[in-house]
C-alpha cells in the first residue's frame, strides 16, 4: 500500500512538472519540444481561439465551372465548385470597410508557410509593422497562401482563427490554417478566382 502511495506521489509530481510553463525553462535547456513540435504546430495554428464556421459540402447550380473558386464577400464564405453539382463551402475573413473589392483573378503562385512583407501602403498606415516576417506559426499569412494575380491580395491562412467570418483584413481573404491547407491541396496555379463584392 505504501509503495502504491509513493508511486502515485512521484507520478503526480512528474505530471505537475511537465505542465509548468515553457518560459520557466532556460533557452539553452533542451526540452521535449526541442525535438518534437508543439501540438499547436501541426497545421492548425496556435490555440488563440477557434472558428465556429466549419467546412461543408453544399449543393451548387451557379454559372461557374468546376474548379473555380467563388468568394462571396457579403456572405463571408468561399466556395470551390465541384463537378457533381456541389461546392465545398469555407468560412473566410474579408476586408474591412474601405478594403473590400470584387473582380476576377487567377492564382499565380502557391506557397507553404510563406514569409510576409507588408506592402508600402500598409506600412504607411502601420509603421510599427515589421519590414519582413519569416514564415511560421506566428506569421499572419498562416500555413498556406494562394496569390491572386499581380495584386497585393491573397487567400491565406491565419494565426487568428477567431477572426474567420469577420471583416478585419486589408483586402485579403483569411481562412483557418486547416481550411486553407485543404483548399491549397485541391487547387493549382491557374485556377480562376471570382470575387463577388
158 a catalytic residue:
no
Alpha helices, DSSP H only, in 131-192?
177-186
How far apart CA 138 and CA 143 sit, in angstroms, is 10
Specify burial of residue 170 (Cβ count, 10 A radius: 0-12, 13-18, 19+): middle
156 a catalytic residue:
yes
CA separation (Å) from 195 to 74, 105, 178?
10, 8, 22
How far apart CA 38 and CA 53 sit, in angstroms, is 24
Q: Out of 53, 78, 107, 172, which one is annotated catalytic?
A: 172
Q: Out of 116, 156, 163, 187, which one is annotated catalytic?
A: 156
Looking at the annotation, which residues are catalytic? 156, 172
Amino acid at each position: 500500500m505504501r509503495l502504491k502511495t509513493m508511486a502515485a506521489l512521484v507520478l503526480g509530481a512528474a505530471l505537475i512538472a511537465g505542465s509548468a510553463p515553457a518560459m520557466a525553462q532556460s533557452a539553452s535547456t533542451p526540452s521535449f519540444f526541442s525535438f518534437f513540435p508543439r501540438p499547436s504546430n501541426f497545421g492548425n495554428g496556435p490555440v488563440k481561439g477557434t472558428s465556429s464556421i466549419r467546412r461543408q459540402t453544399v449543393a451548387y447550380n451557379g454559372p461557374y465551372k468546376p474548379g473555380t473558386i467563388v468568394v462571396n464577400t457579403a456572405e463571408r464564405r468561399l466556395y470551390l465548385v465541384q463537378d457533381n453539382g456541389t461546392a465545398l463551402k469555407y468560412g473566410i475573413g474579408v476586408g474591412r470597410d474601405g478594403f473590400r473589392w470584387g473582380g476576377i483573378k487567377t492564382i499565380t503562385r502557391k506557397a507553404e508557410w510563406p514569409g510576409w512583407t507588408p506592402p508600402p501602403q500598409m506600412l504607411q498606415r502601420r509603421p510599427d509593422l515589421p519590414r519582413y516576417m519569416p514564415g511560421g506559426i506566428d506569421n499572419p499569412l498562416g500555413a498556406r497562401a494562394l496569390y491572386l494575380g499581380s495584386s497585393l491580395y491573397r487567400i491565406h491562412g491565419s494565426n487568428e482563427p477567431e477572426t474567420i467570418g469577420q471583416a478585419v483584413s486589408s483586402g485579403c481573404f483569411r481562412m483557418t490554417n486547416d481550411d486553407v491547407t485543404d483548399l491549397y491541396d485541391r487547387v493549382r496555379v491557374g485556377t480562376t478566382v471570382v470575387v463577388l463584392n
